[in-house]
Structure 1
Amino acid sequence: MMRPPRIALGAFMLESNGHAPPATRAEFEAACWLEGKALAADLARPAPRAPTALTGFMRAMDAGRAWVPVPLLAAGAGASGPMEQEVFDDLLHRMEDGLRAAMPVDGVFLSLHGAASATVEVDPDGVLLARVRAVVGPEVPVIATLDLHANVSRAMVDHADVLIAFVTNPHVDMAERGAEAAAAVRAMLGGMRPRSGFVKLPMIPPATSQNTDAGPYADAIAFGRGFLDHEVMNVSISSGFSLGDTPKNGLSVVVTTRTDAARAQAVAEEIARFIWSSRGRWTARLLPLAEAVQRARHAGADPHAAPLLFADVADNPGGGGRGNTVWILEAFHAAGVQGAVLGVFNDPELAAEAHLLGPDARFTAHFNRVETNHFSHSFVAEAEVIALHDGRIVGRRGIYAGREVDMGPMALLRIGGLRVAVATQRRQLCEPAMLEALGIDIAQVRSLVVKSRGHFRAGFDEHFTPDRILEVDVPGLTTVVLDRVPWRAVPRPIWPLDPGMEWAP
C-alpha cells in the first residue's frame, strides 16, 4: 500500500510598514513563534495562536484521505516595521533546515502575508518561496495563501505553484482559503500542474477604499471571480499594502488555471484593465477631528442618539501604527465628551503602573512617557483604575474568532467622562473580547474609538452598522491620505501619487 503523503507546513505573517520601527524577535515571540513539535501542539489546541489558514488547511486535509503533517515553523508578528534582517535570516535558515531534515515531502503549504520586508531584503516572502523551491525541487507542490494586502512579487509567483489570496476584508475567510489550498494540494498530488498569469498595476489605493462588502474593491473581486470555471481555478486580487514603501508595491492580479498559461495571463490582464478603469473610485473620505468631537459630544449627551464608532485609521497597529497616538483622546477629553470608550492604547509602562497601583487607585496617567515616534506625543491626565486583566483572551468574532490573543497586562482607566483601555502588546482593537475582558458592556457604550483601519467591522458589526462608523482624519503612521507619506522606494509613476499617468497591461 502506498504511504500517505507528507505535507510540510509553515507560516510567515508580517505586514511591514516602511516608516515604522523595525520588527524585532521579541515581537514575533509575543505573537507567534512556534517550531516543530510546539507548532504541532498549538495546531491541536481548540484556540491556537498559529494563523487560521493553517488550521483551515489541516481540517480540510483531515477530511480527505490519510496524510502526514510535517510542521516546520510558524512565525507571525501581525504588522510592524521592516523585520530586523538577522531575525529574518534566522527564520529563513530554520525553515530551510527543518524542510531539509523532513525530506522527502510530497508537498509544502505556507501561510504567508505577502507584504513583509526586512531592513535589508525587500522581498522576504519571495526569498522564502525560492528557498523552499530549491529544497523540494520543481515537481513537489508548493502552495501558499496570502493576505489580501500582499505586495506580490514576480519571485513569489515564479516559485509557488498556486498563490491564494484572501477574498474578504475584514479577513473572515482565512480558514476557507486554507481549505482551498488543501484542495489544490490534493489536485496536484493527483497529477494537476497549474499555470499562473500575473499583472502588477501601478496603483496603491488608500486603505479605507479596500473594504469588500461594497465599493470598488467589492466590484473588482466580483468581476474577477466571475471568471472561475472548470479551467480558471483561482483569481487573487491583492490590493497591496501601500505603506510598505518598497519596489514591489502595487495592486496585483494573479490568476491560476489548471492547464492553460495563456488563458491565465489573458484573464489577469482583463481584470487589471477593469480595475484600472475604476481607479477614480478608490479614494479616501475622512471625518475632520472637530466634527468627530461634536458628534461624540452629542452621542454622550442625548440618550436617544445612535451610538457611534470612530475609527482612528491613521494609528492602526494592524498596519504598523504604534497604537498610542492621543489626538482623539486629547480632543475628546478637552471637550468633555461623556460615555466614550477608547482603545486599545499600546503603553506597557502605563499598563504596568496601573497593575502596580491596583483597582480603584487614582493617579496621574502619563501616556507615551518613553515613546520616541513623532506622532505619539505625550498626554497627561488624572485617572482612576477601574479594571485590570492579564490580557489573555480568546477571540469570538472577526479575524480573531477562535484564536488565542495575548494582549499582555491590560488596564481600564477612567479619565473624566472617558474610559480608556491600555495594553502591553500592540494589537488593533478589532475584537470585542478585548474590551469585554475589562468588564465593558459594548451595547451600553455611547461612542467607541477603535485603533484599527477595517478589521473592527467584523468584530463590532453586532453593535455598529456601517452608517454609524466614522473614519477620523488625524495624523499617524498608517494615514490613508497618501500624499502625506514621505515616500522613498515605491516605483514611480504610480496612482494616485501621479494622477495624470497612463497605463495598460
Structure 2
Amino acid sequence: MARIIIGGFQHETNTFAPSKAKLDAFTSPGSWPALVTGTPLFEAVKGINISVAGFVEEARRLGHELVPTSWAAASPSAHVTDEAFEHIAGLIVEGIKAALPADAVYLCLHGAMVTESYEDGEGELLRRVREVTGTDLPIMASLDLHANVTPEMVERADGLDAYRTYPHIDMADTGARVARTLDALLKSGGGRPARAFGQIPFLMPLVRQCTMADPAGRLYGMIPEIEAEHKVSLSFATGFPAADIYHCGASVFAYGADEENVKRAVKQLVDEICAVESEFAADLPDPGSAVREAMRIAASADRPVVIADVQDNSGGGGDSDTTGLLRALLDNKAEGAAIGLLVDASAAEAAHAAGVGAEITLGLGGKSRVPGDAPLEGTFRVEALSDGQFTATGPFYSGSHMRLGLSARLSIGGVQVVVGSRKVQMADRMMYRFVGIEPEQMKILCNKSSVHYRADFAPIASEIIECAAPGPVLADPGALPWKHLRPGLRTRPLGVAFGG
C-alpha cells in the first residue's frame, strides 16, 4: 500500500473572453462540485465523470491510501484572478506539506489555465508542489485534451496523461489510467521516468478536434498501438486555441523507462498529425444559412436537426448569452425550435416574479456585449420555471449535480428558450427536460456548445450543423488578435505563421 496525496485545480482560460474567473466561480457549484477540502472531497466527486473520481476509485481498488487536499473547478472564462489562484493553490500546496511524508502526489489538472500573473498556471502550481516535495517524490497529473502543455509542466511532473475523447466521455477513465501508471511506477522502484515533448506547428480549430470524426478520431486511435510498440505512456493534447500565450497549441508528450523509445514515440505521432494538417481546417456557415438549412432538413426528418452555436460556448470561455442564433430562428420563422442554455440571471428572475403564463417584456441576453451582438428586445411568455437543480444523465456530464440557479423556459415567436442564471455548456438532454422540453420531439435544437453536445445529442439528431454566430470562442483561431504566441506557429491550419 502506498500513501498518495491527491488534489486538483481545473480551469480552461480563454484570454479573449469577456469575464474573469474570480474566487466565487470556484466556490459556487454549477456543473461541477464547488471547492472542497479534506475528506468531503471523496463524496463530492463520487460517481461523476471527472478524472479525480476515476483516480480515487482505481487507486483504492489497487489498495492505496489516499490523503485529500483540495479540489476545485470553474467554467471556462478569461483569466483566473490572482486572488483565486493564490487561495486554491495555497490550499493544495499547504495540504501536501501537511500530509507528508507520502509515496506520491496525484493532481487533477486541466492544462490550459492562465492567471492574471502566470501564463502557465499549471506549471506554476507544479513548481510550488515540487518545491515542497523535492525531486524524488513521484508527481503525476491528469490533463484535459485541450491542455496547452508547456515544457515546464512536462519536466516538473513524472507523468502527464490527457483525455483521449472529445466530447470528453473518458475523464474518469483517464484518472483511472493515471492511477494504474502511478501504481506501476511505485512498484518498479525506478527513478524518474524519461520524458519527451513535441509541439505541433499550427493551431487546431475546436470544432475539428472532435474525436467522433477524422482526423482526430483516427489519430487518437493510433495512441494505444504506439504505446505498446515503444512501451511508453503517450498523450496528444489538441490544445485550447484561444489563449494568447507563448505555448498555446497542440502537443505530444510521453514518459517511459527508455529515453530513445520515448523520443521515437513522440516523433512518430507528431509526424502523423502534421501529415493531415489540411484536414483540421474549418469553414462554418452564418446563423441565417444554418437555420434555413436546418428548416429544409427538418421538413422531412423524423428526428431533430441540431445546430451548434459554437462561438458562444461557455465551455470555451463564452458567457452563453449571445442572441445571434436566436435572432436567426425568429427572422426565418422557424417552427418547433428550442435554444439553450442562454444565461441571463435578470431575465430568469423576472420570469419567476411574473409566474407561469405571464408575458414579460425585456432585453434578453447580450449582457457580455460581444462585438456584433446585443440583447434581444421582445415580449416573452413564461412557459415553465425551475430552481435549476437536476442530475445530468448524458455521457459527458454523467452524474453531475447541476445547479443553474433560477431558470425558466420562455417562448417568443414559437421558439422555446431555456434560460439559466449560471453558465453551463449545453451538452446534456436533461438541460432541456428540466424545464419541460423533450428534445426528441423538437424539430430543431440549438445548442450553445462546440463539440461536447455531440455525446448526448448525436444519437437523436437527423443531422448536425455547426454555425458561426457572434461569440468570443471563434471557430477560426486565425481571426483572433494574437500578440504573445511563439514565433512561427501557424494560427490556423495551413495559415500564416505568427510573427512571420
Q: 1:129 to 1:62 in 2, by over 3 A?
A: same
Q: Equivalent residue for 1:19? A: 16
Describe the SS at the equivalent of 1:196.
strand
After TM superposition, the runs of 4+ consecutive aligned structure 1 residues lying more than 6 A away are 500-503
For the structure 1 residues 139 and 463, does the alpha-carbon distance in structure 2 shift closer, same or farther, using more than 3 Å as the test? Answer: same
Q: Which amino acid aligns with 1:469?
A: I
Unaligned 5+ residue runs, structure 1? none
CA gap of 1:461–1:296, structure 2 versus 1, over 3 A, is: closer
Residues 54 and 178 in structure 1, CA contact (< 8 A), matched pair in contact too: yes
Q: Give the drift of 1:19.
A: 0.7
Q: Deviations over 1:472-503 (max 9, x none)?
A: 12221001122321112222322245846799
Cα deviation, residue 376, structure 1: 4.2
Q: Deviations over 1:75-134 (max 9, x none)?
A: 101311111122112222221111111111211111111001011210010111111122
Tell me which of 279, 290, 295 is aligned to 1:292.
290
The CA deviation at 1:213 is 2.0
* Partner in structure 2 of residue 160 of structure 1: 157
2:266 matched residue in structure 1 = 268
Match of 1:471 among 466, 475, 479: 466
Matched residue, 1:220? 219
CA distance in 1, matches of 2:372, 2:421: 19
SS of the residue corresponding to residue 55 of structure 2 reads: helix
Q: How far apart are the structure 2 equivalents of 1:323 and 1:56?
A: 29
* CA 366–164 in structure 1, closer or farther in 2 if over 3 Å, else same: same
1:375 Cα deviation after fit = 4.8
Counterparts of 2:485 and 2:62, CA distance in 1:
44
Separation of aligned partners in 2, 1:230 and 1:296: 46
Structure-2 residue corresponding to 1:238:
237
User: 1:369 and 1:149 mapped to 2: Cα distance?
Assistant: 27
Residue 253 of structure 1 aligns with an amino acid whose one-letter code is V
Which deviations, in whole Å up to 9, do the C-alpha atoms of 1:368-395 show, x marking residues without a partner?
3754443541111111111111112211
Q: Are 1:36 and 2:38 an aligned pair?
A: yes
* Cα distance in 1 between the residues matched to 2:77 and 2:453: 18
**Alpha-carbon deviation of 1:397?**
0.9
CA distance in 2, matches of 1:305, 1:500: 40
Query: Percent identity at matched positions?
Result: 30
What CA distance in whole angstroms lies between the structure 2 residues aligned with 1:370 and 1:254?
A: 40
Q: Deviations over 1:262-288 (max 9, x none)?
A: 210122122112211211111113123
- State the partner residue of 2:124: 127
Contact 1:398 1:430 in 2 (8 A): no
- Kept in 2: contact 1:298–1:305 (CA 8 A): no
Tell me how far 1:415 sits from its aligned partner: 0.8
Q: Does 1:486 align with 2:485?
A: no
Shift in Å at residue 238 of structure 1? 0.4
Equivalent in 95, 98, 101 of residue 101 of structure 1:
98
Normalised by the length of structure 2, the TM-score is 0.94
Structure 2: how far apart are the matches of 1:163 and 1:177? 10
Displacement after TM superposition at 1:40 (Å): 3.3
One-letter amino acid matched to 1:246: I
- Cα RMSD of the aligned pairs, angstroms, is 2.0
* 3-state SS of paired residue (2:378): strand
Distance 1:192 1:360 in 2: 68
Residue deviations 1:275-326 (CA, integer Å, cap 9, x gap): 11211111113123232231344456x3656520000001110000110110
Q: State whether residues 55 and 172 of structure 2, in contact with CA within 8 Å, keep that contact through their aligned partners in structure 1.
A: yes
Q: Is the 8 A contact 2:381 2:410 kept in 1?
A: yes
- Distance in 1, matches of 2:223 and 2:294, equals 40
| Equivalent of residue 387 in structure 2, options 387, 390, 393 | 390
Q: Structure 1 stretch 432-441 or stretch 359-368: which is displaced more? A: 359-368
CA contact 1:363–1:383 (8 Å) conserved in 2? yes
Q: How many Å separate the matches in 1 of 2:59 and 2:456?
A: 28
Aligned length: 491
- Which residues of 2 match residues 400-415 of structure 1 at below 5 A? 400-415=397-412
User: What is the DSSP-based 3-state SS (H/G/I as helix, E as strand, rest coil) of the residue aligned with 1:329?
Assistant: helix
Matches within 5 A, 1:341-352: 341-352=338-349
Whether the aligned pair in 1 keeps the contact of 2:303 and 2:440 (CA below 8 Å) is no
Distance 1:275 1:502, change over 3 A: farther
- Extract unaligned runs of 5+ from structure 2: none
